[in-house]
Structure 1
Amino acid sequence: MRRQFTLPEEDIEHLDARGLSWETVNEGGQLWLLLHDFPIPNGYNHANASVAISIPAQYPIEQLDMMWVYPELSRTDGQLIGALSPQLIDQKNYQRWSRHRTAEFPWRPGVDSIITHLSLVEDWLEREFQKVGKI
């Protein structure tokens, strides 16, 4: 696994404790955390996928935002997923999920991290079925 830049030790410990296969990639100054074989909830066309998280230069002060998934996810019930667009990351066509923090739940420097962002990623995947329909 590539380690082209370093994450804070707390993030590394969390990723390793979860047993996730991960790497850090620098694509021309754009930093990515790639999480491979990330578990995807029931109701999608894949049980596991790679999830990419863009790591800003000022992280952990600057917030993490959105997620990117490869291969593309779709719902097995045929309902469409909104706010998606393609993006090339690490020479693969990832699916960008445009999901963001809200004014009610802003980024909190010193509190939020990859750990809390992964909770959001899991929540976004689960909530997709609450917004548009049920499994």
Structure 2
Amino acid sequence: MALLFDEDYRILEESGLEYEEDEAQRFLLIKNFPLTPGFYIHSGVTLELVEVLWIVPSDYNTSGGDMFWVHPALSRTDGKAIPNVFGFGGVDARQFKGKEYCRWSRHWDIATWKSKVDNIQKVLGRIEWALKYPDAKR
């Protein structure tokens, strides 16, 4: 059984993002999610892409979910801490195919999700926004 709707898969295909699913764990893994150039590092290396793991809620399309996980763990190049982010071995880290994914908790305002209207594009937009503005609350 597919985790998403046909429209969502079309959006993913057209986006150029590489993805895979694990239906048993309800994982959607985006393998090449773009980062703001020069903003994040891992182990001293500036990153342009990150893997994003999103757990597709069982009630997907009536709620958009409020967390995602990344690999590798990200640090800001300016040294500022990232709020509500947990590193390797941290709170609610997830394992997938031998990699550990670190949680980004954002708790979106439920009113910003239009039930049965919004789709994976809104989810991707939320993740993009969170990575671009890690200090902001929404």
- Smaller-chain TM-score bracket: 0.7 to 0.9
TM superposition score normalised by structure 2: 0.80
Counterpart CA distance in 2 for 1:103 and 1:37 is: 27
**Structure 1 counterpart of 2:108, which letter?**
R
The equivalent residue for 1:44 is 40
Aligned to 1:96: 103
Q: TM-score, normalised by structure 1?
A: 0.82
1:8-44, Cα deviation, whole Å (9 max, x unpaired): 1111001110111101113xx4301000011111211
CA separation of 1:55 and 1:19: change in aligned 2, threshold 3 A: same
**Which structure 2 residue ranges, 5 or more long, are not aligned?**
42-46
The alignment-based identity, stated in percent, is: 34
Give yes or no for contact 1:5–1:25 (8 Å, CA) kept in 2: no
Is residue 121 of structure 2 the alignment partner of residue 115 of structure 1? Answer: yes
Structure 1 CA distance for aligned equivalents of residues 135 and 66 of structure 2 = 21
The residue number in structure 2 matching 1:9 is 6
SS class of match (2:11): helix
Structure 1 Cα separation of the partners of residues 110 and 32 of structure 2: 32
Aligned to 1:19: 16
Please state if 1:59 is matched with 2:25.
Answer: no
- Provide the aligned length of Structure 1 versus Structure 2: 125
Runs of 4+ more than 4 Å apart:
none
Question: Root-mean-square deviation (CA), in Å?
Answer: 2.0
Gaps of 5+ in 1: none
Report deviation, 1:104: 4.8
Contact 2:63 2:110 in 1 (8 A): no
